[in-house]
Structure 1
């Protein structure tokens, strides 16, 4: 226990003695962790935005007002049986007319024209959703058959696949940049820690030699530098996660309008805070420990 306390004391002394390098090490580690958090935020927002856009895609099949009930039932049954279709919603002529009135409630000319008609000019509609946006073209082609030409008057399909692809391309490019930035900061962190430990060992080489002469093991000598790795990891993770959590509240103000959840990032961060802290601590501790061990190998060989 006494040896362990001495190791901690030596570690804190080294940190204070090299306060400038210690600060720089923590600073670069924080930048690396912020890059990792940026990658996480990008992936979360992209997945949520893509899902939101996909949910808004559908194709509507407008049926002829003269179509009989049996013909309508045949078309609906056929569409619902297609393997690509996940949902087929049938809207009767009355429902279509009611929706039309709501849509154009502020257009008096259109409403007046409807009142002059003795019959409902709108036919029933079948609204279809598929597993994947690419499947809509398949469903539309399946309905382009001669037996349904007189029943299905028209089809509308808002192709948002282009928007999804643009989001994916932008996100991929930003992710590549963020990943490269993370690797860059990781390399800089490694070099700073490596050289910090080497300088510390070089300046204390006489002290280390005396320790070894009086029977100190290599692990006793290594101990302070391992503790330094833990200290650097805890401080950098604490700072990075505090900054990341603060940024979630700021980003949610703008993302909430698009994603439909005013606290999307904040809720995710809070619910996963332990796992995020553990993973980030593991990454930083591994990096600092490896760089420390490599720096000490040359000077602590038995």
Structure 2
């Protein structure tokens, strides 16, 4: 492991890749002018960085920050290998990862091109990831890193073939790799399904223009679409699909080979898949709903028993304690009170 302090400028100007998996290529005639404007501005001055390296992964931290750099580097190296294995043992490129705490540093590195809800970004062509770390959220940071590694590794696995993948697959695959699904996401999709506000998969391409809530819904649906691929293709479905893409097979053809459905049929069936799992009918008939009803019933019974016990205790407190004693003992106690 090598450690040194350096002064660097971001070197990924010709490419912009956001957490929505959209790559924007700057025309070659504009590259020089654009880089000059971006990196001679006040917001992009040189910064002191602490740089450590291991196994082809370079971690850069602002020198003024105190982070567990060595521990974090080891975790990132392990995550990169795990993601490569999940994608079907794809090649592992060298990667540089910037980790910053402040919104200012994050916005400077990303050139203020990331929506306010973004906390991670990957530039696949430059093999660069930028992550924002919040105190006490190491697990969230590593989960985001796993997500962004997926973008870079998928890009480098297929870019020489000229293949392009839909944003929903790129994002959904990254969420699947990062294990990002949580209970509240199920609730959000259920609300959208009931209201008829689900987003067509093709519109996920424009996620950068969405507000935070709609963007999160787009990501959640992307994850569910990848889950639908797995449900149709069975074990190893995603590895086979990525393998076909690496061989130069167009995405729609690879999707058909794995799922047995054309792109249009896949999206139509996916809408039914979501409605079946999250629509009104699912609220009544699903196994998860049944367990929810059981839990609610237990809570109702518990609340009823607790309320009854409180009433009994209150009644006992209001009663004369002598009434529960034998008559002779009651008379004796009353005589003593009268003395």
TM-score by length of 2: 0.24
Q: Identify, as 1 or 2, the structure richer in helix.
A: 1
TM-score of the pair, normalised by structure 1: 0.26
The structure, 1 or 2, with the larger RCO (C-alpha pairs under 8 Å, 6+ apart) is 1
